[in-house]
Amino acid sequence: MALTTEQRKELARTITRKHYGEESRTANMTCADWDAAVAACDEWIEAHQNDFVASLPEPFKTNSTVLEKKVLFVRCVMARLGLS
C-alpha cells in the first residue's frame, strides 16, 4: 500500500533532519524537493511491486507473506547501503 501524503511528508522531514549538516547532504535541496522525491520513490514502488513479486523464485514467491516480501526488499536495499 502506498504511503499517504502525510506519511510521505513525514518521511521527507525525517530524511532531511537526519542529513542536515552532514557532508552527504546536498545543500540546495528544499523540503519541497524532498517531498517530490519521496512521492516519486513511493509511486515507483507502487507501480513496480508486481514486477518485484514476479521476479522472486519459487517457492518463496508463493509461500511467503506480503510482509516477508516487503522485509526482503527493504533488507536488500539496506544491505546495499551498508545498513544491514
Instruction: Please write the tens of the pLDDT for every residue from 29-65.
Output: 788 898 999 999 999 999 999 999 999 999 999 999 9
Residue 45 cell numbers, joined: 514502488
For the entire predicted model, the pTM comes to 0.77
The set of cell numbers assigned to 30 is 528544499
Cα Rg of the chain (Å, integer):
15
Beta strands in 2-57 (DSSP E): none
Total tally of structural domains belonging to the chain: 1
Quote the pLDDT of residue 1. 74
The domain in which residue 28 lies consists of 5-80
**In this predicted structure, what is the pLDDT of residue 26?**
65
pLDDT given for residue 18 in this prediction: 76
Give the separation between CA 62 and CA 52, rounded to whole angstroms: 13
The number of beta carbons lying within 10 Å of the beta carbon of residue 53 is 15
What does the pLDDT look like over 2-15, one tens digit per residue?
Answer: 899 999 999 988 88
